[in-house]
Amino acid sequence: MLDEAYIHSEPLGVVLIIGAWNYPFVLTIQPLIGAIAAGNAVIIKPSEVSENTAKIVSKLLPQYLDQDLYVVINGGVKETTELLRQRFDHILYTGNTAVGKIVMEAAAKHLTPVTLELGGKSPCYVDKDCDLDIACRRITWGKYMNCGQTCIAPDYILCEPSLQSQIVQKIKETVKEFYGENVKESPDYERIINLHHFKRIINLLEGQKIAYGGETDEATCYIAPTILTDVDPEAKVMQEEIFGPILPIVPVKNADEAIKFINDHEKPLAFYIFSRNNKLIKRMIDETSSGGVTGNDVIMHFTLSSLPFGGVGSSGIGAYHGKHSFDTFSHQRSCLLKSLKREGINKLRYPPNSQSKVDLAKFLILKRFNKGKLCLLMLTVLGIVAAVLIKKYQAVLRRKALLIFLVVHRLHWSSKQW
């Protein structure tokens, strides 16, 4: 082919990254790496809630990056609001849905594309046909690390009523294994970020049946690993993302009811399924929607750079991680370089029009002359050409063979005469 068609990835321009407070370093630096790799200039706005990390980022980045291209701006709502008034070529925000709507509204005034990494209530379905010991260990790890302040932590469990007591007991045993007899004294168990979020989470416990945990200490923002059983789907704890160490268990009759429950609510950022039945896992994936899925584990899909990470619906827009970060912060520019040769074939698109041109256009377009048919035609033509060449070549070979035979025969006859 004389023409060349390709995709040219080019930088979007100036990118704004608004980080989160729960994992303030990784959720700021990881998208920053993708934006730099794609060739953009970046303004970084760390979360003011995690002020110590914000100070470290603003101190360290200028030491290693070009200060004219990569700028850190610290501050609160006032500074963020002023930033959002400016025109950017892309905005990536990680945080809650309410602020995500504000970011998207501000971006819309300039038609600026956004990547919104939000949250939601990520369900965890535990099938009766699974290894409960392994399932509960992995759920405990994912739910209570960082004191539940993880956007893709399992928010609640769906299971058959008969499994509730077993799950509670096994999670209790695992908490003891992870954090010891006195969780509050464990160096591996974190605290709630501030008093505001501490009180918000405590309010979610009102009127609930606490099967395990529930201890709190306002002075240190400590909330113990807590499990709630027989939770009413209409309860306050089921109306918002918990973002804390409270694990409600909602009984369902079977997988069908679990699927219906999930589909009756907003699309979550993650969905977790524990079962030995791979067909059931695939079915639940097919019949629900979420930002990501992990089967027989939690959170681990986030760790694979080969998988895009992002939400869907109210849990987010767009995705990043690995090569997907490069794509997010790039414009995929379609390029076609045409040859100045073969102008004869282009007469079809030039005036004046004629019936023969219309007939040819119908053949190419209306008859849907697709690539498969074109390839078949080309193979047929090549086959005919090859057959002709082989036949011609065979004739040449026969003539050469006859000539050699005559020469050899003559030499043989001459030798006898000699």
Catalytically active residues are 117, 151
* Separation between Cα atoms, residue 381 and residue 184, nearest integer Å: 79
Segment holding 328, helix H or strand E: helix 323-328
Q: Are the beta carbons of 138 and 53 closer than 8 angstroms?
A: no
Determine phi and psi for 347, rounding to 5 degrees: -60, -20
Check: CB of residue 74 under 8 Å from CB of residue 46. yes
Phi, psi for residue 94 in degrees, rounded to 5: -120, 125
Phi-psi category of 159—alpha, beta or left, where left has phi over 0 and alpha has psi -120 to 50? beta
State the amino acid at position 360 in one-letter form: L
Residue 4: phi and psi, rounded to 5, are -125, 125
Helix residue spans in 204-270 (DSSP H): 255-263
Which residues have CB under 8 Å from 137's CB, separation 6+?
170, 174, 177
Which distant-in-sequence residues (6+ apart) come within 8 Å of 23 by Cβ? 146, 150
248 φ, ψ (degrees, to nearest 5): -80, 145
90 bridge partner residues: 15
Secondary structure element (H or E) that encloses residue 360, with its range: helix 355-361
* Residue-level length of the chain: 418
The residues near 395 (Cβ < 8 Å, ≥ 6 apart) are none
Contact call for residues 163 and 126 (beta carbons, < 8 A): yes
